[in-house]
């Protein structure tokens, strides 16, 4: 091949950038064609020879002793191969399994059931129809027990005991236990200093609030196909998992099969939102059945099973307090939370932090003193506690601080925008050590809020609102909500974050082929984030390989390097950093090969978009394609052949995206019907990789935030019956209900991230929910209302209006 490139034939920088389709390019999603054509490959699409199907028998009771289980009629049904109960799993020591939170959970109910629809037996048959019919033939005799559904009553002396198996244990995974229904107490901050600040404060405010129990409700429910090869001793599992490598480790722990003989494959996943992080009993039962029967076994849950038995989110009962001076400068924050974890502590949180990253609760504000205490509680409800489109418990934290800042502003008669300006962290204060021990890497909050206020003409909105309030005949109330949030993402630094003892690093392996194309494999797994598109763009910008020539693979533990998966907006902050670093390793080796080909020192060669040029002699150059070919036949003496790189990235810190959201609502005072007039969302996620995908992710997060704030809630009656177990009852907004979103951005790169990226997909969910509530409260604020608990559906809003007699005026 020629030693140099004829510069006359080299395209312009603009043409070369366009061909690369690197960072900053709104490259169309590579994934879309197969999804649009219905050619996705989901777990329920998997069909294997001689495959059987499993169906769960579930409890109608929320709390009851199991007096007997008779499986004889089910076993006699034609086409049934097995019916598993806890007694069948006990010899294998698989009747209980570890949770990600350090607790244990019954795979199949052992002695008693502790929440409605808990798994009692697993029927395996030729197809799901036979299995479902046979499940109806399993006869279970129950002895109903007193039910506990209110976490605020859980530690009363006469409260029913949820967990008989650990009722006498004084110590749990996270320290001392105060009561049989108590899981942990997690304190953080300086209590004495905070209490003194409150004692000396000119102004204090206090507000109780509930962040209701909700469910991520992904389009695809959970499921798996397990296939055990009795000859080879190999186990292959197709599974709907956001963290396939962690599943492999847990399966190895449970089954005693070496991880080297376990292959976990997460194919296309129809949404996760945190719901598909944990291990569910259906997975374990399918695996056990396959090992016992020697045939593949599929388990796919129904929609009702998904809503009532897989991991919920939120259910935080919070009390917030602020201490401030008379000018609204915050001096201290004090918070107590009662966290309803359901019947087992199966929260998907880092091991060291049982309340997740709730300590981001100081928000975007310079708060010198803070103390937080969280009590985790058992109740007769479904276990879980996942990060529904947010990092661990961040949305609860942001909700509380944003609500409290509004409550303080209302008490002092200060505009809610102005009180934020008075308390914002300044740009020159970063990196900033919060009173609760986090180090914010970067931020620039004031320009973001000013940009948002200008975009909506905030003074004009306030003037219109004042005129409405002065008119006694106005049929609608007008509310303006502001949220200026800081999120914490990128879990995480292994010195702080682990799951079951495994540090939360992530990984990337890149192999460049002789023709200049490449394959990249990561430890994450996409559930709609567009990884195959954006990951290739990072490689394109850093290594100079056109994105169209890069294949991205994830989700197969047989080929992907070990990683902790995709949740908590960690794809770009952690995996994206590993990709950038591996790409840089590729580029550095390629630079040395190019120098060898150009017969100059590597120090005399520099990278230029998609080629390497001799400094001061741009006509002396080698393209990345030429270097890739040489990597397999002509490398410097002592260098290994090939062009490959692997990187395991353990971040030094989290990243801290932020945003300013403003919502304007019109509320019919007679019916409670609410219309979202405008919703403005400005996000700062640092370096923007693909603006089009960012826009789509923001729209999705805002829509889910709208759903939570305005309608979603999993409710239980006093007997523990789930009252929202179908999509007839659980609110999922369609295009008819979803408002129009106005998006905007600023760019404040993360100083420690290799490409300055922070993550964005969960920020709109985190920031929009308190913004909706703020707007709803603001509509009634002139009448003395300081807070309204979600969801803000028409009936609940009408109740507020009726309580104030507004519907009678």
Q: Where does the pLDDT of residue 12 fall: very low under 50, low under 70, confident under 90, or very high at 90 and above?
A: confident
242 is catalytic: yes
Q: pTM for this one?
A: 0.96
Q: Using one digit for the tens of pLDDT, what is the confidence trace for 555-573?
A: 999 999 999 999 988 999 9
7, pLDDT greater than 60: no
**Per-residue model confidence (pLDDT) at position 807:** 81
Angle between helices 794-803 and 763-780 in degrees, nearest 10: 30
Known active-site residue 677: no
Per residue in 576-588, pLDDT (tens digit) is 999 999 999 999 9
Average pLDDT over the chain reads 96
The answer to whether residue 468 is catalytic is no
Please say if the pLDDT value at position 385 is more than 90.
no
In this structure, what token pair is assigned to residue 600? Answer: 């100059």
Tens digit of each residue's pLDDT (9 = 90 or more) over 267-317: 999 999 999 999 999 999 999 999 999 999 999 999 999 999 999 999 999
CB atoms closer than 10 angstroms to residue 260 = 9
- In the prediction, which pLDDT does 300 show? 98
The arithmetic mean of pLDDT across residues 60-72, rounded, is: 98
Q: Which of 295, 314, 389, 420 is catalytic?
A: 389
Contact 135, 71 (CB under 8 A): no
The one catalytic residue in 390, 483, 497, 771 is 390
Average pLDDT over residues 407-431: 98
Q: What digits encode the pLDDT tens for the residues 450-508?
A: 999 999 999 999 999 999 999 988 999 999 999 999 999 998 899 999 988 899 999 99
Mean predicted confidence (pLDDT) in 10-39: 93
| Cα gap 169→736, rounded to integer Å | 52
Q: To the nearest whole percent, how much of the chain has pLDDT over 90?
A: 95
Say whether 497 is catalytic. Answer: no
Give the model's confidence band at 380: pLDDT under 50 very low, under 70 low, under 90 confident, else very high. very high
pLDDT at 5 over 80: no
Question: What are the C-alpha distances in Å from 472 to residues 17, 144, 475, 800?
Answer: 60, 55, 9, 18
User: In which band, very low, low, confident or very high, does the pLDDT at 2 lie, cut at 50, 70 and 90?
Assistant: very low
Of residues 269, 303, 301, 307, the one with CA closest to residue 286: 301
Pairwise CA distance, residues 163 & 110, whole Å: 11
Residues 6+ apart with CB under 8 A from 416: 405, 406, 409, 410, 482, 774, 778
For the record, the structure tokens of 235 come out as 């186990």
With tokens 């995996």, the residue in question is 575
Quick: pLDDT tens for 589-635: 999 999 999 999 999 999 999 999 999 999 999 999 999 999 999 99
pLDDT of 1 reads 40
Q: Round to whole Å and give the CA distance between 587 and 602.
A: 12
Mean pLDDT value of segment 423-435: 98
| Residue that has been written with the tokens 């016992």 in this structure | 292
Q: Take residue 192 and report the two structure tokens written for it.
A: 């004495």
Mean pLDDT confidence for 383-407: 95
Contact 559, 640 (CB under 8 A): no
Q: 104-109 long-range contacts, Cβ below 8 Å, gap at least 24?
A: 104/165, 104/344, 105/281, 105/344, 105/346, 105/383, 106/281, 106/344, 107/281, 107/284, 107/285, 108/84, 108/281, 108/285, 109/59, 109/66
Digit-coded pLDDT (tens) for 663-691: 999 999 999 999 999 999 999 999 999 99
Give yes or no for a contact between 215 and 714, defined as CB atoms under 8 angstroms apart.
Answer: yes
In this predicted structure, the answer to whether residue 809 has a pLDDT above a threshold of 80 is: no
Q: What is the pLDDT of residue 659?
A: 98
List 242, 410, 532, 713, catalytic entry: 242
Considering only CA atoms, which of 215, 219, 216 is closest in space to residue 44? 219
The DSSP element (H or E) to which 214 belongs, if any, is strand 203-214
Q: Which tens digit of pLDDT belongs to each residue from 744-785?
A: 999 999 999 999 999 999 999 999 999 999 999 999 999 999
Is the pLDDT score of 55 beyond 70? yes
């Amino acid at each position: 091949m020629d030693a140099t490139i004829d510069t006359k034939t080299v395209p312009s920088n603009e043409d070369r950038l366009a061909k690369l389709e690197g960072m900053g390019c709104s490259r169309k999603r590579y994934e879309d064609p197969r999804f649009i054509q219905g050619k996705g490959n989901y777990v329920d699409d998997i069909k294997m020879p001689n495959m059987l199907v499993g169906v769960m028998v579930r409890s109608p009771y929320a709390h009851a002793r199991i007096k007997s289980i008779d499986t004889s009629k089910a076993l006699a049904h034609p086409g049934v191969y097995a019916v598993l109960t806890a007694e069948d799993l006990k010899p294998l020591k698989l009747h209980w399994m570890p949770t990600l939170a350090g607790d244990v959970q019954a795979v199949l109910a052992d002695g008693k059931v502790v929440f409605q629809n808990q798994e009692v037996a697993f029927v395996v048959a030729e197809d799901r129809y036979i299995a479902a019919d046979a499940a109806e033939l399993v006869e279970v005799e129950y002895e109903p027990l007193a039910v506990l559904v209110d976490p605020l009553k859980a530690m009363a002396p006469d409260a029913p005991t949820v967990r008989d198996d650990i009722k006498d244990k004084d110590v749990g995974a996270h320290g001392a236990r105060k009561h049989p229904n108590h899981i942990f107490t997690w304190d953080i901050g300086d209590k004495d200093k905070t209490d003194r600040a409150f004692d000396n404060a000119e102004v204090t405010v206090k507000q109780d609030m509930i962040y209701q129990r909700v469910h991520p409700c992904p389009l695809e429910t959970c499921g798996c196909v397990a296939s055990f090869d009795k000859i080879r001793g190999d186990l292959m599992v197709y599974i709907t998992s956001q963290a396939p490598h962690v599943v492999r480790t847990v399966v190895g722990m449970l089954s005693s099969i070496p991880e080297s003989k376990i292959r976990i494959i997460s194919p296309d996943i129809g949404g996760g939102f945190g719901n598909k992080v944990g291990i569910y009993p259906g997975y374990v039962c399918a695996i056990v059945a396959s090992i016992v029967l020697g045939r593949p076994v599929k388990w796919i849950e129904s929609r009702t099973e998904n809503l009532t038995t897989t991991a919920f989110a939120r259910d935080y009962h919070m009390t917030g307090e602020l201490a401030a001076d008379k000018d609204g400068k915050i001096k201290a924050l004090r918070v107590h939370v009662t966290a309803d974890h359901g019947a087992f502590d199966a929260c998907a949180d880092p091991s060291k932090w049982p309340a997740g990253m709730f300590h981001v609760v100081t928000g975007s504000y310079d708060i010198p003193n803070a103390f937080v205490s969280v009590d985790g509680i058992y109740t007769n409800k479904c276990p879980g506690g996942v990060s529904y489109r947010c990092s661990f418990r961040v949305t609860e934290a942001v909700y509380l601080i944003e609500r409290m800042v509004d409550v303080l502003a209302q008490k002092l008669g200060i505009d809610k925008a102005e009180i934020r300006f008075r308390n914002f962290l300044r740009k020159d204060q970063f990196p900033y050590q919060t009173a609760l021990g986090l180090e914010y890497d970067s931020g620039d909050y004031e320009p973001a809020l000013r940009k948002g206020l200008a975009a909506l003409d905030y003074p004009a909105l306030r003037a219109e609102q004042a005129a409405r309030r002065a008119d006694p005949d106005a049929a609608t109330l007008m509310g303006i909500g502001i949220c200026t949030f800081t999120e914490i993402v990128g879990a995480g630094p292994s010195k702080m974050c682990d799951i079951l003892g495994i540090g939360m690093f992530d990984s990337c392996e890149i192999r460049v082929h002789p023709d200049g194309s490449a394959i990249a494999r990561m430890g994450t797994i996409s559930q709609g984030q567009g990884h195959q598109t954006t990951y290739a763009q990072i490689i394109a910008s850093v290594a100079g390989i056109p994105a169209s020539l890069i294949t991205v693979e994830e989700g197969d533990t047989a080929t992907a390097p070990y990683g902790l998966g995709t949740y908590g907006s960690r794809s770009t902050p952690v995996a994206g950093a590993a990709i950038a670093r591996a790409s840089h390793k590729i580029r550095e080796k390629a630079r040395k090969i190019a120098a060898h080909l150009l017969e100059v020192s590597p120090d005399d060669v520099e990278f230029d978009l998609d080629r390497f040029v001799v400094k001061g002699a741009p006509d002396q150059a080698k393209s990345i394609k030429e270097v890739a070919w040489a990597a397999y036949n002509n490398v410097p003496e002592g260098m290994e052949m090939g062009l490959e790189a692997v990187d395991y990235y353990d971040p030094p810190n989290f990243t801290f995206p932020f945003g300013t959201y403003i919502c304007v609502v019109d509320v019919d005072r007679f019916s409670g019907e609410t219309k979202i007039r405008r919703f403005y969302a400005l996000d700062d996620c640092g370096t923007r990789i693909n603006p089009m995908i960012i826009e789509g992710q923001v729209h999705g997060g805002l829509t889910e935030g709208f759903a939570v704030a305005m309608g979603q809630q999993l409710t239980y009656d006093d007997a523990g019956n789930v009252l929202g177990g179908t999509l007839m009852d659980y609110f999922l907004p369609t295009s008819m209900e979803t408002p129009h979103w106005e998006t905007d951005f600023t760019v404040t790169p993360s100083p420690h991230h290799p490409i300055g990226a922070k993550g964005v997909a969960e920020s709109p969910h985190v920031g929009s929910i308190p913004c909706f509530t703020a707007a709803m409260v603001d509509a009634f604020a002139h009448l003395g209302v300081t807070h309204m608990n979600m969801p803000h559906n028409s009936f609940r809003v009408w109740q507020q209006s009726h309580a104030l007699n507004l519907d009678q005026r």
